[in-house]
C-alpha cells in the first residue's frame, strides 16, 4: 500500500480479476491493452530500476475504476489521459480511479511512474520474474512474473505490442524481446530501444542484461543471433552448431518462423531450466557442455515460438498445447536428424508414464499440474497418436494450418480438436476423450 496515495475505494466486481480458470488473480477486467511503452533505467550493482510505463488501452465497459498488476515497486504517479488519478497499490494490484470515468469502447492512456528494487515473485513455482545474476539480470516470466518489472494486465490472452527503451551502464549488453531499433551511447550509459510489433503475452516479454558477446547463431532467411559469455564461445559453437538445420526442419514441419528474428541468450550463471520469451530463448551456462547433450532443449525452446508464443493459449488450463507440442518437436527433430524415431521416443515415454499412477487429465490438469511431466510427455504422446490416426501428410498439414489460423492470436483445446475433426473428415471425440480427458493412459498405436 502507498500511504501517500488517495484511496479510490473498492474496485467494481471483477475489476481486479481475470477470466482465467486457473489464475484469476492475474489479469483484470473492463479493458484490453493495445500497446505498452516502457522507458526504463537500470543500475546493475544496486539492482535499481526506474520506469515510466505508458499503457494504451480500450475500455470494454464503462470504467469508474480499474486495476493493473504490479508487484513490490513504488508507484510515484499515475495519470489517466494526462490527468492525475487516485490510486492504491498493494497485494500485487495497482487500483486506479481516474479523474473522469472512461466511457465504454473509449481508447484511454495510463501513465505510471515507478521505481525500486525488482524482485522475483514467490509462489508455488518458486521465484518467477525479474532475477539478479552474478553480474546482470534476467526475466523469466512464465507464468506470473511480468508484474515484477512493469505494470500490466497480466493475463496471457491480452496480447499487445511493445516498445522498450532500456538505459544501463555501457559495458552491459541488453537483450529485450523485440527488434532492435536503436542503440545510443551517452557518456557512461547506453540506451537500447526495442520494438515488439506482434501481439505478445505479458509473460513472454523479457529483458536480459549481462556482459555478453554477440555472435551469429545461424545464417539463412531468418536472422538468428546469440548473446553469450565470451568464455563459453567454444562450447556454444558445438552445442548450437546445428541450429540452422533445426530452424529449417521446424519451418518445413510447422510453417514459416513467426517473428522477425530469433535470439539465444546464454547467461554466465547456471539456470535450472531454459526460459522462453517472444522471439528469444535463454539458457544457463550449465546447459552447455560442448557435446550437444542438451540439444533437445534447444529444439524445445525454438518450437515454442510457434506453439505458445505466436499461438498463445487463451487460458492456462490449455498448457498442453504449449508443452506437448514443443516436446513432440524434440522427437520430430530426433527422427529427422537421424536419431531415435518419434515412435521410439513415444514407446519409451509411454512405458514410463504407464508405470506411474493415472492421476492427471492433461486437458484440465489443475493449477498444481500445470507443469507436471505428463503435460509435456503425455501431450506429445497425444500428438503422436493423432499422427498415427490421421497419417503423416494430413497430420503435418493440420499443424501448419493450426499455426497459420491462430498466428499471433489465442486458441484453446476445443479449437484444436475441432480442426483435427476437419482433417479426419469425422468426429475424433472418442479419440480425444481417451487421450485428453481421461486419466487412464490409452494403448500406444503402432
> In this predicted structure, what is the pLDDT of residue 382?
98
Q: Which three cell numbers stand for residue 99?
A: 479523474
Give the residue among 138, 151, 163 at the shortest CA–CA distance from 38: 163
pLDDT at 211: 98
132 is catalytic: no
Q: State the fold for domain 31-207.
A: Immunoglobulin-like (2.60.40)
On whether 323 is known to bind a ligand per the annotation, the reply is yes
Ligand-binding site membership of 304 (annotated):
yes
Could you say which of 376, 389, 422, 440 is catalytic? Answer: 376
300 is in an annotated binding site: yes
pLDDT of residue 4: 36
**Closest C-alpha to 209, from 166, 242, 248:** 166
Scanning 206-288, the segments in alpha helix (DSSP H) are: 233-239, 243-254
| Residue of 335, 305, 342 whose CA lies nearest to 322 | 305
Q: Whole-prediction pTM value?
A: 0.95
What per-residue confidence (pLDDT) applies to 2?
38
- Answer whether residue 249 shows pLDDT above 50: yes
Share of the chain above pLDDT 90, in %: 95
What's the pLDDT score for residue 217? 95
| 311, pLDDT greater than 70 | yes
Catalytic residue among 198, 276, 295, 301: 301
Element (H, E) at 378: helix 373-390
pLDDT at 33 > cutoff 80: yes
* CATH, domain 213-305, list 3.10.450.50, 3.90.1170.50, 3.30.2010.30, 3.90.50.10: 3.30.2010.30
Extents of the domains making up the chain: 31-207, 213-305, 313-437
Selecting from 1.10.390.10, 1.20.140.10, 3.40.50.1370, 3.10.50.40, what CATH number does the domain 313-437 have?
1.10.390.10
Question: What is the average per-residue pLDDT within 364-376?
Answer: 96
376 labelled catalytic:
yes
Helices 373-390 and 413-424: angle between axes, nearest 10 degrees: 20
Angle at CA 202, nearest 5°, toward 57 and 420? 100
Amino acid at each position: 500500500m502507498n500511504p501517500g496515495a488517495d484511496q479510490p475505494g473498492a474496485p467494481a466486481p471483477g475489476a481486479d480479476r481475470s477470466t482465467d480458470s486457473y489464475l484469476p488473480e492475474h489479469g483484470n477486467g473492463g479493458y484490453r491493452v493495445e500497446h505498452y511503452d516502457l522507458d526504463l533505467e537500470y543500475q546493475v550493482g544496486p539492482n535499481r530500476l526506474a520506469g515510466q510505463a505508458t499503457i494504451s488501452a480500450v475500455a470494454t465497459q464503462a470504467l469508474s475504476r480499474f486495476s493493473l498488476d504490479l508487484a513490490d515497486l513504488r508507484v510515484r504517479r499515475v495519470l489517466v489521459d494526462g490527468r492525475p488519478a487516485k490510486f492504491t497499490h498493494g497485494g500485487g494490484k495497482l487500483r486506479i480511479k481516474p479523474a473522469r470515468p472512461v466511457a465504454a469502447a473509449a481508447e484511454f492512456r495510463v501513465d505510471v511512474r515507478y521505481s525500486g528494487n525488482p524482485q522475483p515473485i514467490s509462489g508455488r513455482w518458486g521465484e518467477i520474474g525479474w532475477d539478479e545474476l552474478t553480474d546482470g539480470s534476467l526475466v523469466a516470466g512464465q507464468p506470473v512474473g511480468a508484474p515484477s518489472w512493469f505494470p500490466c494486465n497480466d493475463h496471457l490472452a491480452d496480447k499487445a505490442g511493445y516498445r522498450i527503451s532500456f538505459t544501463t551502464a555501457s559495458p552491459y549488453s541488453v537483450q529485450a524481446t523485440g527488434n532492435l531499433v536503436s542503440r545510443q551511447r551517452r557518456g557512461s550509459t547506453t540506451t537500447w530501444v526495442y520494438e515488439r510489433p506482434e501481439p505478445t503475452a505479458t509473460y513472454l516479454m523479457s529483458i536480459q542484461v549481462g556482459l555478453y558477446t554477440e555472435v551469429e547463431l545461424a545464417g539463412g532467411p531468418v536472422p538468428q543471433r546469440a548473446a553469450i559469455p565470451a568464455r563459453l564461445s567454444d562450447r556454444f559453437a558445438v552445442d548450437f552448431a546445428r541450429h540452422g538445420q533445426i530452424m529449417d526442419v521446424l519451418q518445413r514441419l510447422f510453417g514459416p518462423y513467426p517473428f522477425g528474428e530469433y535470439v539465444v541468450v546464454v547467461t554466465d550463471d547456471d539456470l535450472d531450466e531454459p526460459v522462453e520469451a517472444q522471439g528469444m530463448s535463454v539458457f544457463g551456462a550449465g546447459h552447455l557442455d560442448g557435446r550437444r547433450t542438451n540439444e533437445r532443449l534447444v529444439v524445445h525452446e525454438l518450437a515454442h515460438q510457434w506453439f505458445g508464443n505466436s499461438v498463445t493459449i487463451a487460458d492456462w488450463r490449455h498448457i498442453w498445447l504449449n508443452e506437448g507440442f514443443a516436446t513432440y518437436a524434440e522427437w520430430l527433430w530426433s527422427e529427422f536428424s537421424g536419431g531415435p524415431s518419434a515412435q521410439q521416443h513415444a514407446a519409451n515415454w509411454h512405458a514410463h508414464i504407464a508405470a506411474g499412477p493415472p492421476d492427471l487429465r492433461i486437458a484440465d490438469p489443475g493449477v498444481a499440474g500445470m507443469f507436471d511431466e505428463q503435460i509435456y510427455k503425455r501431450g506429445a504422446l497425444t500428438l503422436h497418436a493423432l499422427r498415427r490416426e490421421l497419417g503423416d501428410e494430413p497430420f503435418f498439414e493440420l499443424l501448419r494450418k493450426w499455426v497459420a489460423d491462430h498466428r499471433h492470436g489465442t486458441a484453446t483445446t476445443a479449437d484444436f480438436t475441432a480442426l483435427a475433426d476437419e482433417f479426419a473428415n469425422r468426429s475424433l471425440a472418442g479419440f480425444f476423450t481417451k487421450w485428453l480427458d481421461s486419466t487412464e493412459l490409452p494403448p500406444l498405436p503402432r
